[in-house]
Amino acid sequence: METLSKKQLLILGLVFDGVGMISYIFPPIDLVWAPLSAYLMMKMYKGNVGRIGGLISFVEEILPGLDFFPSFSLTWLYVYVLKGKNKLE
């Protein structure tokens, strides 16, 4: 993925968290979504944040009942609110 703005990352994160919650309706989607979400997380956030976020995203999607955990949104909050990272708008 090319460099995305804070706002674009937040919107994508909300959409991806929504896709992950679809498995409450159709559980087999997790078999495809878990590795894809890990890959997307690593592409969206570089370095250790992306790798750790990807691992967490994979685990929470593959394990039943954890789909309520908004891993993409929480990663965005960690990067831009807790760490206060300034990125090009």
Q: What is the pLDDT of residues 44-68, one digit of tens each?
A: 999 999 999 999 999 999 998 888 8
Lowest mean pLDDT among 13-17, 23-27, 54-58: 23-27
pTM as predicted = 0.87
**Phi and psi for 64 in degrees, rounded to 5?**
-65, 140
Structure token digits, residue 11 = 């919107």
Widest CA span in the chain: 38
Q: Does the pLDDT value for residue 2 go beyond 70?
A: no
Lowest mean pLDDT among 14-18, 27-31, 33-37, 52-56: 27-31
